Amino acid sequence: MGTKKDPCTKIVQKMYLMLEGGESGSLCATLRIHLEGCTSCAEQYRVLEDIVSLCKRFPDEEVSEDQKQKIKEKLLKSLSAT
């Protein structure tokens, strides 16, 4: 998906890792550097932060792994289209 022509696609995918807390220090640094220079990805990151924040407000709701995967796929598809 992410290529030299489209580094943002790879960055968007890595945003999920960062927001889910499964990131390494080097991944965080790479993402932060990219987000500082790319307004499109920075906006997408803010949207994802909002989504994660909303989801954390409802911790009692169980979401199946299948549902989580479907949501991620739809978000990636919509974010890649921008």
User: pLDDT digits over 22-76, tens only?
Assistant: 666 787 788 889 889 999 888 888 888 888 787 777 767 777 888 888 888 887 7
Assigned domain for 1 exists: no
Residues 6+ apart with CB under 8 A from 77: none
Assigned domain for 2 exists: no
Domain tally, the chain: 1
Assigned domain for 71 exists: yes
CA atoms lying within 13 Å on the CB side of residue 29? 3
Assigned domain for 22 exists: yes
Please report the pLDDT score of residue 21 as a whole number: 67
Residues shown for the chain = 82
Residue 75 lies in domain: 7-80
- Does the pLDDT at position 2 exceed 70? no
Assigned domain for 13 exists: yes
Assigned domain for 23 exists: yes
Token couple for 65: 């792994």
